[in-house]
Structure 1
Amino acid sequence: MPRLIDADKALRNLPDDLPYKDSVRRVLAQATTVDAVQVTRCMDCESARELTQHENLYLADGVLICTNYEVSENGRLPVWPQHFCGYGEPKEENDG
């Protein structure tokens, strides 16, 4: 499975004594750039709530409720922590 890297940072951090350094630079510089966007997983989303029972809906352990009205008609969509959608916004970090 391919993985994303920061090729510019890798180029900056190449040690001076690296054998074949010019070849490594060339390969990194010519590597294909992927079209990717950062996503917010449900477990890190401000719209996700940890509930095991909500109204008449019973959830398994580890399932969250999405309260984003853009995603579901009633704003109560069960989601797994690793899921994500185009509406996800990261939780604000507490400064303290």
Structure 2
Amino acid sequence: MTTLHATTSPAPTAYGSGMTLTAPPPTLDLYAASSGLLLTETQLAAALGVAAKTLRNWRALRTGPVWRNLGGALVRYRAGDVVAWLDSHNG
């Protein structure tokens, strides 16, 4: 089973220390998530460890996971579709 990670907010800065405190990123486990969970392009890119531009390229080439356009620029990926795509590309 693959656990995918996504970050959702910038790390806080320690006051006066000049160092940045970093918490472990929240875990996005697509295999355990509801198959109907909708992910944004940014969330999926972070979970897969690729740039959002890579997802846009995959959409243009029709090679990535199934996506949905909810109107205008609202692109979403259903977790179940992403898992199916990952499983089909897991060699």
TM-score normalised to the size of structure 1?
0.22
Q: Which has the larger radius of gyration?
A: 1
TM-score (norm 2): 0.22
